[in-house]
Amino acid sequence: MQNSRECQPCTACCDGWLQIKVKGCEAYPGKPCPHSTGSGCDDYQNRPKNPCQTFECNWVKSGSHLPENFRPDLAGVIVVERILTWQGLDVDLATPVGKEIPEKSLAWLKAYAEQHIRPLIYQQQPPNRRKYVKDPLTLAHGPPAFQQWLEAKIASGEKLW
């Protein structure tokens, strides 16, 4: 199945909602890529292969399981599938476009995770904070053993992806 979804006008991945490094410059929540204009890239022709050319959010991927209305800037969430594996299962990542993933979007993602036996890692900014933090809260949805595994990884300081 060929997918005809296009990134534009969404620029959520460049606008700092994903932690990336472009040409030595970091982007993270509250700090967009310095090349992002809010409607595209000011150096698109010279964008680096990684992460700019190789990154593909799950909404854009051919055959994506995400519904049409899940374009990141509209659904308030960027989904990256198969960010890692746990006990042979693919684990997906959902990161908010804003402080937290909207309730409706998160409910859909959790239901999908349960129906397809795909543990889900999702992030949100700490509650009651005015400013964005570089490292948002990382939470798990899946079996209790998966949740404990993720908590242990986070507590040890191990990089997850």
**pLDDT for res 3:** 59
Query: Does 7 fall in a domain?
Result: no
Tokens of 128: 């009651």
pLDDT at 93: 96
Q: What pLDDT is attached to residue 121? A: 98
Whether 2 is in a domain gets the answer no
Please count the structural domains in the chain. Answer: 1
Identify whether 6 is part of a domain: no
Measured from the Cβ of residue 110, the count of other Cβ atoms closer than 10 Å reads 15
Q: Is 61 among the domain residues?
A: yes
pLDDT level of residue 2 (50, 70, 90 thresholds): very low
Q: How much is the pLDDT for 1?
A: 44
Specify if 5 maps to a domain. Answer: no
Q: What is the per-residue pLDDT across 108-154, written as a single tens digit (0 to 9) for each? A: 999 999 999 999 999 999 988 889 999 899 999 999 999 999 999 99
143 falls within a domain: yes
C-alpha 112/C-alpha 90 separation (Å) is 13
- Residue written as tokens 């960027």? 78
The residue range of the domain holding 110 is 20-156
Average pLDDT over the chain reads: 91
Residue 30 resides in a domain: yes
Q: What is the pTM of this model?
A: 0.90
The length of the chain, given as a count of residues: 161
DSSP H helices in the chain: 72-75, 103-116, 144-156
Residue at 9 is within a domain: no
Give yes or no for residue 26 having a pLDDT over 70: yes
What number is the average pLDDT over the span 21-43? 88
pLDDT at site 95: 96
CA pair distance 99, 79, nearest whole angstrom: 15
Range with lowest mean pLDDT among 49-53, 70-74, 152-156: 49-53
